[in-house]
Amino acid sequence: MLKFPMLSCSFAGLFMFGISTSLADEIRSTLDDQRHMAVTIYNQDLALVKDQRSILLPSGLNSLALRDVSAQIRPETALLRSLNGSLSVLEQNFDFDLLTPQKLLEKFVGKAVDIISINPATGVESREQAQVLAANNGVVLKMGDRIETGIPGRIVYHDVPANLRDRPTLVVQLNNKTANRQDVELSYLTGGLGWKADYVAELNATDDKLDLSGWVTLSNTSGTSYRDARLQLVAGDINRVHEQYPMAVKSRSMEMMDMAVAAPMAEEALLEYHLYTLDRPTTIAENQTKQVALLSATNVPVRKELLLRGADYYYQSSYGDLGQKMKVGVFVEFDNKENAQLGMPLPKGIMRVYKKDTAGNAQFVGEDRIDHTPRNETVRLKLGEAFDVTADKKQTDFKKLPRPIKGSNAFESAYKIVLKNAKKERVTVTVQEPIPGDWKILDSSHPSRKAASNTAVWKVDVPADGQTTLSYRVQVIY
C-alpha cells in the first residue's frame, strides 16, 4: 500500500504559516542586496536571469519580498535557493499590480476613503467620508445620502493594499532553519529582454576586400534593470512551448541608446547552439538599448558578382520579347573561414555595407539579412541592382517537337540576351537560367556549365562602354 506521510504535515505547516505570517512583518530585499547578476538572453524574447542577493533572515517562517524582479517574469519558472544556508520554499506570489492613482482607486472599490475639498469662497478645507462604488471609466462615490460622479476634491486613502507594489515583486513564503545572513539565488525565465546581431562592412576601392565589425544590440523592456550583469547570448533556434502569459507591464519606447565598445565576445558551442560571453560585467538599464562589440576583422577577401536571373516559364511556350533594360543584381560574398580573417559562428542579423567615395567619405551601398552562419560557410549579400549594367532579352525561336514518349512533351527554343555596360571598365555578368524538365543546350555563343539539375550558368565579359550578346538554343523534355 502506498503511504503519503508528509501530506498532512505539509498542510499543517502551511496552515500554521498562514496564521503566524499574517502578524509578522515582511522582509524586503532590494537591489542594494544584490551581490551578483547573470543574464543569458536568447533570440526569441526569452532570457534566463540569475539574481544573487545577501539577505539576513531570522529562523522559522518568513515572508520574503524580492523587489525589482522582471515585470515579465514567468513565475512558474522561479527558483529560490540558498547558497550557504538551509531554507525551504512553501509558497510564492508574483505581485505585478504596480502602484498608480488609478490602480489604488480600483483597489478601494467597496471601501471607505476621505474626500478633502476646499471652499472656493473661504479657502477652508473640509473632510467628508465616502464609499467608492465604481472606478471604471471614472469614479462613482457614495457621500452621505447622495451619489457623486467624478472627484469633488482630493482623495485620502488610509493605507496601501498589500498586493499593490511600487515595483514588480516576488513574495516568497519560506521556512528558514538558521538565523544568519545568507546568499540566496533567484533564477527565472522572463520576456522583455532580446538581442540581435548587426554587422557593418566596408568595401575597399577595388571591391575585393572588406573590413567587418559585428555588434550585438540588446533591448530591455522587462520592467527592471540588471546592474553589472555577466552577459551571455545564445544563438540558435530553441524549441519552446508557447502559452499565454499575462503581461504585467506593457513595452515602452526606448529612452536611450548606450554604445559600449569592447573586445570581441568569446564564443563556444552549447548543445546544438552557440554561446557568446561578454568578458566584462555590463549594466542593462530598464527601457534601454545597448550595443556591445561582437567581432572585428580586416582585409576579408570578398567576391563581387553581377547576376542576371531568368525564369522557367518561357521554356514551354512562345513569348517573344522577355524584357528591356532588365536589372542586374549586385552581390558580394565572402567565406567565414580562419584563413579569411574570420572563422567565428555568425549569429543571424542584418549586414550593412559601405564604401568610400573619392573624397574618402563612407557611403551606404546596401544591406542584406544573413541567417545563422557556421564556420567555413559562405556569406552572400545582395546589395541592390546595378545602374550601368542592363540586359535586353527575347525569345528568338520556339517550336514544339514530336513527343519522344507517350505522356511527355518536347520543346526547342532559342534566346538572345544583349548585355550592356555603360561603365568605364569591363565587367563580368553571370547569367543564370532555371531550365525545367530534362534539358540540354544544343548551341551557345558562350560556354555554359550545369550548376544544378535545373540551372544553366554563363559567365559573360562585357567591355567598357560596350555590349555583348549571348545566344543559345535549348531542348526541353517534360
91-125 pLDDT per residue, tens: 988 876 667 788 788 888 888 998 988 888 888 88
Do the bridges between strand 60-67 and strand 79-82 make them parallel or antiparallel, or are there none, so unpaired? unpaired
88 and 174 inside one domain? yes
d(CA 9, CA 169): 29
* The three grid cell numbers given for residue 390, joined into one nine-digit string: 542592363
**For residue 78, is it within any domain?**
yes
Counted residue by residue, the chain has a size of 478
The pLDDT of residue 108 is 87
* The three grid cell numbers given for residue 57, joined into one nine-digit string: 533572515
pLDDT at 67 over 80: yes
Helices (H), 228-379: none
d(CA 90, CA 444): 81
Residue 375 has a CB neighbour count (10 Å cut-off) of 15
- Taking a C-beta distance cutoff of 8 angstroms, is the pair 227, 265 a contact? no
Residue 32 has a CB neighbour count (10 Å cut-off) of 9
19 and 118 inside one domain? no
Which residue range forms the structural domain that includes residue 147? 101-156
Task: Write the pLDDT tens digit of every residue in 372-425.
Answer: 899 999 999 999 999 999 999 999 999 999 888 777 899 999 999 999 999 999
123 and 11 inside one domain? no
**For residue 468, is it within any domain?**
yes
Q: 542584406: which residue's cell?
A: 368
318 and 171 inside one domain? no
22 and 64 inside one domain? yes
H or E element at residue 456: strand 455-462
Full-model pTM: 0.70
242 pLDDT tier (thresholds 50, 70, 90): low
**For residue 389, is it within any domain?**
yes
Q: 544584490: which residue's cell?
A: 34
Number of structural domains (the chain) is 3
The pLDDT of residue 14 is 34
**For residue 208, is it within any domain?**
no
